[in-house]
A = this chain, B = another copy of it.
Amino acid sequence: MAVSIAHLGPTGTYSEAAALACARSLHDLGEETLLCACPSIARAIETAAADGAQLAVVPVENSLEGTVTITLDTLWQLDQMQIQQAYVLPISHALLSLASNQSGIKTVYSHPQALAQCHGWLKNFLPEVQLIPTNSTTEALKYLDSDRQAGAIASRRAAELYQIPILAYPINDHPDNCTRFWVLSLQPSPFFGPTEEDKSHTSIAFSVPANVPGALVKPLQAFASRSINLSRIESRPSKRSLGDYVFFLDLEADAKAPSTQAALAELTAYTEILKIFGSYNIQIFTNDR
């Protein structure tokens, strides 16, 4: 039976590109795959959590725009999803339009993150255009047919799929623009290396008792005292009151290593809710197709 992979659709999004990378690695293991395009990132995670898909591939963080907050918030709420693998994909944006040239463009549509990532280029080359946010880079394309003065920022792959000319490429301000994705599933997945092998990263999240001075200090010392490096720390509102947070940590360690086990055991004394999203490796891609 084919392995189903939920992702943010429609076809042509960067999330689909990440899901395709996941599908290719499964094909190498002799598995068939089925991509399942969802209308939102939350829905992609919820689909896998409800067993409607075996895997979900979702963006976590972009090198320019930072955290994809809906991914962290949804993981915290659902709580039983485990991270199997991380992918880092380069993101290169193109300007797509049916206009005969750049100077004919009056409006540019795209996802807010893509607009932000091309902020400098737009300021230089299209300073007068109106920028209009859309729900995905692919959604931006639907305005082009009816309006030849409209442009969209999307991937080269989207240009090919929907047969829309590329007027400029690449147009992102930083050539190293890339996005990290997580592959999630309910159960430990056999497709991402043996579970007894040490993984390079572990992600956890926790809340601390509200209004207790020093509440964040002790959890961080649990790792610091054992020389476990945090590659990332992110606070998200608990949605209870301002100043009350859930903390997301990426540790450079495997959860089953003795020092990590000791730190996590100590952590339970300081935290209100502690969730361990599992250990995984990071695979870095250098080609945007």
Closest to A239 in B: B64
**Chain B proximity mask over A238-270: 1 for CB below 8 Å, otherwise 0:** 011111010100001000000000000000000
Are the CB atoms of B64 and A237 closer together than 8 Å? yes
In the bound complex, CA of A134 to CA of B112 (Å): 10
Closest to A282 in B: B243
Are the CB atoms of B217 and A230 closer together than 8 Å? yes
Identical copies in the complex: 2
Determine, out of A13-21, A24-32, A99-107, A221-229, the stretch whose residues face the partner at the interface: A221-229
Closest to A284 in B: B242
Does chain B have a CB within 8 A of A236?
Answer: yes
**Chain B proximity mask over A58-76: 1 for CB below 8 Å, otherwise 0:** 0001111110010000000
Minimum distance in angstroms from A138 CB to a CB of chain B: 16
A217 cross-chain contacts in B, Cβ below 8 A: 220, 223-224, 227, 229-230
Are the CB atoms of B237 and A65 closer together than 8 Å? yes
Are the CB atoms of B213 and A229 closer together than 8 Å? yes
Given A233-B233, A235-B234, decide whether A241 and B63 contact each other with a Cβ distance below 8 A. yes
Are the CB atoms of A66 and B237 closer together than 8 Å? yes
The contact of A69 among B65, B133, B176, by CB within 8 Å, is: B65
A231 cross-chain contacts in B, Cβ below 8 A: 243
In the bound complex, CA of A65 to CA of B176 (Å): 28
| A-B residue pairs in contact (CB < 8 Å), sample of 12 | A63-B237, A63-B241, A66-B69, A112-B112, A133-B135, A176-B242, A213-B252, A215-B229, A217-B224, A217-B227, A220-B224, A233-B235
Can you add 7 more A-B contacts, CB < 8 Å, to A133-B135, A232-B235? A61-B242, A62-B242, A63-B241, A66-B69, A88-B242, A112-B112, A176-B241
B-binding residues in A (CB < 8 A): 61-66, 69, 88, 112, 133-135, 174, 176, 178-180, 213-218, 220-221, 223-224, 227, 229-237, 239-243, 245, 247, 252
